[in-house]
């Protein structure tokens, strides 16, 4: 889907996307990113450091949230700025079901130069996991 500037206004919502993260996804992400921190694969260690369970990589959560934006605009090259704050970990149980992250967004400003600012929301189990998640895109 390619979104055009003429199709958006302040308040336009990005369609909700849901992403399921399972333990095997954490293994794949660790291999791709080189982040083999033990809290992402060893339940005992994760709990010993005060986490409820193994947690997803923060950058994986950020990437999935960013994917929601690039899927919506239809052109990854149109993403000009993107930033988040990590506010809450995403626990990934070893139950074959995994953890679900839900992402949505809202247009907060539209500029004459074709740039659009988005406010994004990523939640897991009803709690926000990324704070101040914002993106700026250029639409045709």
Asked, for residue 46, whether it belongs to a domain, the answer is no
Please state the pTM of the whole predicted model.
Answer: 0.93
25 domain residue, yes or no:
no
Is residue 62 assigned to a domain? yes
Q: In the chain, how many domains are there?
A: 1
Query: Does a structural domain hold residue 77?
Result: yes
Categorize the per-residue pLDDT at 116 as very low, low, confident or very high, splitting at 50, 70 and 90: very high
Q: pLDDT value at position 1?
A: 65
Contact 135, 84 (CB under 8 A): no
User: CB-based contacts of 29: which residues, under 8 Å, 6+ apart?
Assistant: 35, 40, 56, 57, 60
Domain that holds residue 111: 5-20+58-138
Asked whether residue 29 is domain-assigned, the answer is: no
pLDDT digits (tens, 9 = 90+) for 19-39: 999 999 999 999 999 999 999
Residue 65 lies in a domain: yes
SS3 letters across 100-116: EEEEEEEEEEECCCCEE
Query: Tell me, what CATH number does 92's domain have?
Result: 3.10.129.10
**In sequence order, what DSSP letters do the residues of 10-57 get, joined into one string?**
TTPEEEEEEEEE-HHHHHHHHHHH----GGGT-HHHHHHTT-SS-B--
Assigned domain for 45 exists: no
């Amino acid at each position: 889907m390619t979104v055009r500037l003429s199709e958006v206004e302040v308040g336009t919502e990005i369609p909700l996307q849901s992403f399921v993260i399972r333990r095997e996804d954490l293994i794949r992400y660790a291999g791709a990113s080189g982040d083999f921190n033990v809290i992402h694969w060893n339940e005992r260690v994760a709990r010993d450091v005060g986490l409820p369970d193994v947690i997803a990589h923060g950058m994986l959560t950020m990437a999935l949230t960013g994917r929601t934006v690039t899927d919506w605009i239809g052109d990854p090259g149109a993403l000009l700025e993107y930033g988040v704050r990590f506010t809450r970990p995403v626990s990934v149980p070893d139950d074959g079901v995994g953890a679900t992250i839900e992402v949505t967004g809202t247009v907060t400003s539209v500029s004459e130069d074709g740039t659009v600012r988005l406010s994004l929301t990523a939640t897991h189990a009803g709690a926000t996991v990324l704070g101040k998640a914002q993106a700026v895109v250029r639409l045709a």
